[in-house]
Amino acid sequence: MRSSLVLSPRDLEFLLHEWLQVESLTKRERYAEHSRETFDAVLELAEQIATEQFAPHNRKADENEPHVVDGKVVLIPEVAAALRVFAEAGMNAAALPEELGGLQLPAVVNQAVHVWFQAANIGTSAYPFLTMANANLLVAHGTPEQVQTYVPPMAEGRWFGTMALSEPQAGSSLADITTRAVPQDDGSYRLTGNKMWISAGDHELTENIVHLVLAKVPGGPAGVKGISLFIVPKFLVAEDGSLGERNDVVLAGLNHKMGYRGTTNTLLNFGEGVHTPGGQPGAVGFLVGEQHRGLTYMFHMMNEARIGVGMGATGLGYTGYLHALDYARDRTQGRPLTGKDPSAPPVPIIEHPDVRRMLLAGKSYVEGGLALGLYCARLVDEERTAEEEADRQRAHLLLEMLTPIAKSWPSQWCLAADDLAIQVHGGYGYTRDYPVEQFYRDNRLNPIHEGTHGVQALDLLGRKVVMSGGAGLSLLGETIAATTARAAGTPWADLGEQLDGLVQQLGAVTATLWGQGDPQVALANASVYLEAAGHVVVGWLWLEQALATEGRDGDFYTGKRQAARYFQRWELPKVGPQLALLASLDTTVLEMRSDWY
Amino acid sequence: MRSSLVLSPRDLEFLLHEWLQVESLTKRERYAEHSRETFDAVLELAEQIATEQFAPHNRKADENEPHVVDGKVVLIPEVAAALRVFAEAGMNAAALPEELGGLQLPAVVNQAVHVWFQAANIGTSAYPFLTMANANLLVAHGTPEQVQTYVPPMAEGRWFGTMALSEPQAGSSLADITTRAVPQDDGSYRLTGNKMWISAGDHELTENIVHLVLAKVPGGPAGVKGISLFIVPKFLVAEDGSLGERNDVVLAGLNHKMGYRGTTNTLLNFGEGVHTPGGQPGAVGFLVGEQHRGLTYMFHMMNEARIGVGMGATGLGYTGYLHALDYARDRTQGRPLTGKDPSAPPVPIIEHPDVRRMLLAGKSYVEGGLALGLYCARLVDEERTAEEEADRQRAHLLLEMLTPIAKSWPSQWCLAADDLAIQVHGGYGYTRDYPVEQFYRDNRLNPIHEGTHGVQALDLLGRKVVMSGGAGLSLLGETIAATTARAAGTPWADLGEQLDGLVQQLGAVTATLWGQGDPQVALANASVYLEAAGHVVVGWLWLEQALATEGRDGDFYTGKRQAARYFQRWELPKVGPQLALLASLDTTVLEMRSDWY
């Protein structure tokens, strides 16, 4: 596949360098070994591997789902081959510190690297990305021995990792997990229970699989406060790093999904007695950090995973948009609205305003989503490496605010971009002869996993905007105001004023919601709040992009400006009725009873 | 499957009898043989056959697509079995006049019959529904001999019919079709060309297949004015009705789609010399009506098909909604927003406001869509059987106005209902173990076929609102005003006022669009116009429904009223920004150039 149909290198260059000034990070100690050249080199390598190794088997992996033969998960061979190239290029370890074999790449560049693979083949990309999220968690919360044992093999791509949270009876409701972990005399634990929806939960791609498992130690507090986190490797690891006994983590079944079919998605049984490591029942697990603090650690991984989900949604929307654009320039059909001379030759369908509308909407969504994801990744770098503690804290706070939006907004709107990509293709787009239908199916997962849309909404309105006395919302407002202040006196002053008004309204609505005293009423319409806030944030990032084009000529910049105008004129006005609904403290939904449906 | 998960008989009863007063049609001569009892009987039969014969193989047909073996299309056997029961029950001929073997059912009851099958199994239902659209066209425009030859076998389900319009190079652009029809000395024609996207284009379900084919007679006018319509049977028919020689209509391939997989979708070659009926080249065709008027005739079928597509979208959304409702009442997970005591048992997820929101949105979409489709069908009855010519003309005009909306609104919003149905199910809804993912894939076709969303938009804004000096829009406004006048003094007065305001704005916007002189500018944002008009129309039908519940108590009516309030408070406000955008004569899309993307 042409790389120009996977992602736009020009847009990445614009966002990373002309907008986010990523090169300035090389002045920080952590990234001092890097330069514009090393960033470009790794991005070009990512583009090449994504295009040549990942994209070509995207459809084949969709059509040939993982299946079980003799108890082993069988994948098409292209997956292992692509992941080998990926690992050999050092991509697994791109963001890890040098001492663990990594490239110590800034998070923002690493995110740009990732999105190439997500756009090219979301199913195959999940294996290393879950692995890296797992490794990052261990680096943050594991003991030095745990890090040394598990992280380097994952960095090399010899082992992969998972996150095992959900259970069949308790999807989003982690308070209700029932997997038990019983402490042993040697400091290890024995786990029993069943986990559901575990991506990459079993396969033969690697020698070992490192599961990070949430479980409850008997006698602990009820609910989420009694959850602990354990490392449960598929094969136990000896002190010298060699693989030992088979642990009692057993594949209990595969899930068959509408999309994302290339990623093995599993039910796993822990400690059901299929294996008895050390002659004892139960899966051997090793506590990460302290007992009962598992959810806190897991949220470290979850926040990263949520931004990663948003970026996956963006990647899928982006490639869909680029395919639609390519098709619309190539496919001839019909004639201009005016001058329907039937003897004139048909025109490329991009000449039809409604096709241009769909493509412009798609452009505003996918480029907006990419800007949002990269901005968040840039905040991760700021959080890690800013010189002043106050700056690090501000970055942390802003990132906390933006995480539910960075997860949910692209999951909604870049899915919409794939929907529009099908529509641009007409009947052909609905067939499996064109790739856009797969992007649409794949992308439909993103509003569900790693916390549904509704869960993100409660996170934003129920936690993030009220934490620290509303400091997060204030900071977001100040950050947007700094941009709109720069817009004054430019052709973008009107967009700045529009955003100022919306931010002010959002603050007022938040005060109204939490001021009326009933948390049920405050939270009942949280999804609308999430969507309104998301559009305001992306509108702001479109203003940021528009300002970054000022003084620059050429089609690329003109297109950016037109997409910003589209978002201003077509998208931001949708927020008005949402805020009005919230401000009215509408209880239509809250009043509705099960028997009335 | 429980019929309560396919469609709601209670809602159908409400719409048909408590709202549309369908029984009053039995006073008309055409329907004088009917009664509430015959209507109920046929609807109960439809429910039974849909539930017992159609729904059970819906998933299997999706998983086992039609495929070709030795040149023949192979379907799973359940399709033929279900269609046999369907035909034996007289369902094929339900709406045909008695003299052609039909039940002479009112269109509105027939539409209610249809939606049972569409909701139960859209793929299998397509075969008889295309056949009936074909038969209806012949009844309207064929010669008595053509009717006698082709319609009774289709009414009996021994033959099926198709509509063959599109060609590979010309999807929506019928002006560019190149299939040729050359007149012969005996009055027949010989056709050569290729047709694309022909549903039910080949199969072994019936003895014969009657294709209605658009083609151009050489020497005719260019563009759509040179299109004629032909009957092209798969097997030629002798005067006694027996089947004769194989015609030269040959299956050239099957399309493989994201959904709607149960319906064979074909490429057909006409007159490529595989068969030579009568020893001559070309597929034998028989002209319907006059030369060069084919598109006019076809539009007779297309209008019916468009409302049918809208109803199919509604049926798919409706069953998705009912599955989600059932799941939400059954599945327990999490705890109330207030009182998160982890030791309390989890609650059914319908207790969570965000789940109630999704279900209430779904309810407002699918019940709104059903009301819209049945209202249009009721207009068909009025058009056919009203005593006064003026009433028949008014019904015709209003139906013309509403057809693009009846096609596009459910295609957008009942697809949204399926999207929400997946979301209510969480991760399970995304797996193929639950039916909602199929409904979502199936429903994605509806914004494309029988005229895309964009085509419907141009039909509404470019043709319907300007025809007869704007009489259609005026009539729609008067019709809505008659409802809002009834709302005055009731608890629904506010909704009436809201609608009055929106209708007034829609009229003003229409005048602005067409008053500024540039048709390109007028039509550039036609899709937004279509969506705004659609929401206004469905808002009006929700007011109609709400008024029909007045004075009635009980959960069903309370639920209807709550859904009407939802539409009023959550959905109608979306129209404001759309009308404002249109009123601003926004040219953001029109200005966009191919090179700027």
3-state secondary structure A170-230: ECCCHHHCCCEEEECCCCCEEEEEEEEEEECCCCCCCCEEEEEEEEECCCCCCHHHHEEEE
Q: How far is B228 from chain A (nearest CA, A)?
A: 16
CA-closest candidate to residue B376, choices B295, B452, B296, B479: B479
Statement: residue A266 has pLDDT above 80 = yes
Contact between A431 and B255 using a beta-carbon 8 Å cutoff? yes
Question: Span B137-158, mean pLDDT?
Answer: 96
Q: How far is A223 from chain B (nearest CA, A)?
A: 5
CB B127 within 8 Å of CB B142: no
Question: How many angstroms separate the Cα of A516 from the Cα of each of A461, A519, A585, B569?
Answer: 14, 8, 9, 20
At A525, is the secondary structure helix, strand, or coil?
coil
Dig out the tokens for A533 from the structure.
Answer: 């806030």
- ipTM for this prediction: 0.96
Give B250's strand partners.
B269
Partners of B327 on chain A (C-beta within 8 Å) are: none
Partners of B423 on chain A (C-beta within 8 Å) are: 447-448, 452-454
Contact between B444 and A431 using a beta-carbon 8 Å cutoff? no
Contact between A355 and B558 using a beta-carbon 8 Å cutoff? no
Q: Report how far residue B153's alpha carbon sits from residue B133's, in angstroms, rounded to the nearest whole number.
A: 14
Question: Span B518-527, mean pLDDT?
Answer: 95
Contact between A422 and B431 using a beta-carbon 8 Å cutoff? no
Contact between B427 and A519 using a beta-carbon 8 Å cutoff? no
Minimum CA–CA partner of A577 in chain B: B573
Q: How confident is the model at residue A175 (pLDDT cuts 50, 70, 90)?
A: confident
Question: How many angstroms separate the Cα of B567 from the Cα of each of B364, B476, B494?
Answer: 6, 20, 13
pLDDT tens-digit map of A339-397: 667 788 889 999 999 999 999 999 999 999 999 999 999 999 999 999 999 999 999 99
Q: What is the pLDDT of residue B479?
A: 98
Q: How confident is the model at residue B229 (pLDDT cuts 50, 70, 90)?
A: very high
Question: Span A419-447, mean pLDDT?
Answer: 97
Statement: residue B341 has pLDDT above 90 = no
Dig out the tokens for B18 from the structure.
Answer: 């408590």
Statement: residue A524 has pLDDT above 70 = yes
Question: Span A437-446, mean pLDDT?
Answer: 98
Statement: residue A131 has pLDDT above 70 = yes
Strand stretches in B33-84, DSSP E: 67-69, 72-74
CB B378 within 8 Å of CB B20: yes
Contact between B222 and A441 using a beta-carbon 8 Å cutoff? no
Please name the member of A334, A348, A519 whose beta carbon is closest to the beta carbon of B338. A519
Q: How confident is the model at residue B344 (pLDDT cuts 50, 70, 90)?
A: confident
Partners of A590 on chain B (C-beta within 8 Å) are: 353, 356
In chain B, the percentage of residues whose pLDDT exceeds 70 is 99
Q: How far is B132 from chain A (nearest CA, A)?
A: 23
Question: Span B122-134, mean pLDDT?
Answer: 96
Please name the member of B258, B426, B524 whose beta carbon is closest to the beta carbon of A441. B258
Q: Report how far residue A582's alpha carbon sits from residue B357's, in angstroms, rounded to the nearest whole number.
A: 14
Q: What is the pLDDT of residue A57?
A: 98
Statement: residue B575 has pLDDT above 70 = yes
Q: What is the pLDDT of residue B8?
A: 97
Q: Report how far residue B224's alpha carbon sits from residue B173's, in angstroms, rounded to the nearest whole number.
A: 9
Contact between B562 and A592 using a beta-carbon 8 Å cutoff? yes
Minimum CA–CA partner of B526 in chain A: A354
Statement: residue B567 has pLDDT above 70 = yes
Minimum CA–CA partner of B554 in chain A: A596
Q: How far is A505 from chain B (nearest CA, A)?
A: 17
Minimum CA–CA partner of A441 in chain B: B441
Q: What is the pLDDT of residue B510?
A: 98
Q: How far is B235 from chain A (nearest CA, A)?
A: 29
Q: What is the pLDDT of residue A593?
A: 97
Please name the member of A224, A354, A555 whose beta carbon is closest to the beta carbon of B457. A354
Q: How confident is the model at residue B2 (pLDDT cuts 50, 70, 90)?
A: confident
Q: Which residue's structure tokens are 């995304």?
A: B430
Q: How confident is the model at residue B171 (pLDDT cuts 50, 70, 90)?
A: low
DSSP B213: E
Contact between B558 and A596 using a beta-carbon 8 Å cutoff? yes
Residues of A annotated as part of the active site? 450
Q: Which residue's structure tokens are 């692209």?
A: A410
Statement: residue A408 has pLDDT above 80 = yes
Statement: residue B160 has pLDDT above 90 = yes
Q: What is the pLDDT of residue B386?
A: 96
Statement: residue B176 has pLDDT above 90 = no
CB A57 within 8 Å of CB A73: no
Question: Span B327-346, mean pLDDT?
Answer: 85
Q: How far is A14 from chain B (nearest CA, A)?
A: 14
CB A159 within 8 Å of CB A241: no
Question: Span B367-372, mean pLDDT?
Answer: 98
Q: Which residue's structure tokens are 């596949």?
A: A1
Q: What is the pLDDT of residue A171?
A: 67
Q: What is the pLDDT of residue B175?
A: 84
Contact between A329 and B594 using a beta-carbon 8 Å cutoff? yes
Statement: residue A291 has pLDDT above 90 = yes
Contact between B431 and A590 using a beta-carbon 8 Å cutoff? no
Contact between B427 and A448 using a beta-carbon 8 Å cutoff? yes
Minimum CA–CA partner of B198 in chain A: A427
Please name the member of A175, A462, A569 whose beta carbon is closest to the beta carbon of B342. A175
Partners of B352 on chain A (C-beta within 8 Å) are: 454
Partners of B172 on chain A (C-beta within 8 Å) are: 333-334, 426
Catalytic residue among B450, B531, B544, B571: B450
pLDDT tens-digit map of A56-97: 999 999 999 999 999 999 999 999 999 999 999 999 999 999
Please name the member of A351, A449, A457 whose beta carbon is closest to the beta carbon of B354. A457
Q: How confident is the model at residue A3 (pLDDT cuts 50, 70, 90)?
A: confident
Partners of B356 on chain A (C-beta within 8 Å) are: 589-590, 592
Minimum CA–CA partner of B524 in chain A: A353
Q: What is the pLDDT of residue B87?
A: 96
Contact between A356 and B590 using a beta-carbon 8 Å cutoff? yes
Q: How confident is the model at residue A170 (pLDDT cuts 50, 70, 90)?
A: confident
Contact between A591 and B562 using a beta-carbon 8 Å cutoff? yes
Please name the member of B342, B355, B453 whose beta carbon is closest to the beta carbon of A222. B342
pLDDT tens-digit map of B294-327: 999 988 778 888 999 999 999 999 999 999 999 9
Question: Span B560-584, mean pLDDT?
Answer: 98
Q: What is the pLDDT of residue A341?
A: 78
Q: What is the pLDDT of residue B303?
A: 82
Q: Report how far residue B415's alpha carbon sits from residue B417's, in angstroms, rounded to the nearest whole number.
A: 5
Q: What is the pLDDT of residue A1?
A: 64
Which domains are assigned to chain A? 3-155 (1.10.540.10), 160-292 (2.40.110.20), 452-597 (1.20.120)
Q: Which residue's structure tokens are 């209008």?
A: B303
Residue of A166, A225, A258 for testing the chain B interface, max B β-carbons within 10 Å:
A258
How many residue pairs from chains A and B have C-beta atoms closer than 8 A? 276
Mean pLDDT computed over every residue of chain A: 96
Contact between A172 and B340 using a beta-carbon 8 Å cutoff? no
Statement: residue A556 has pLDDT above 90 = yes
Residue of B267, B418, B597 for testing the chain A interface, max A β-carbons within 10 Å:
B597
pLDDT tens-digit map of A219-263: 999 888 999 999 999 999 999 999 999 999 999 999 999 999 999
In sequence order, the 6+-apart residues with CB closer than 8 A to the CB of B242 are none
Q: How far is B391 from chain A (nearest CA, A)?
A: 34
In sequence order, the 6+-apart residues with CB closer than 8 A to the CB of A484 are A496, A497, A499, A500, A540, A543
CB B129 within 8 Å of CB B46: no
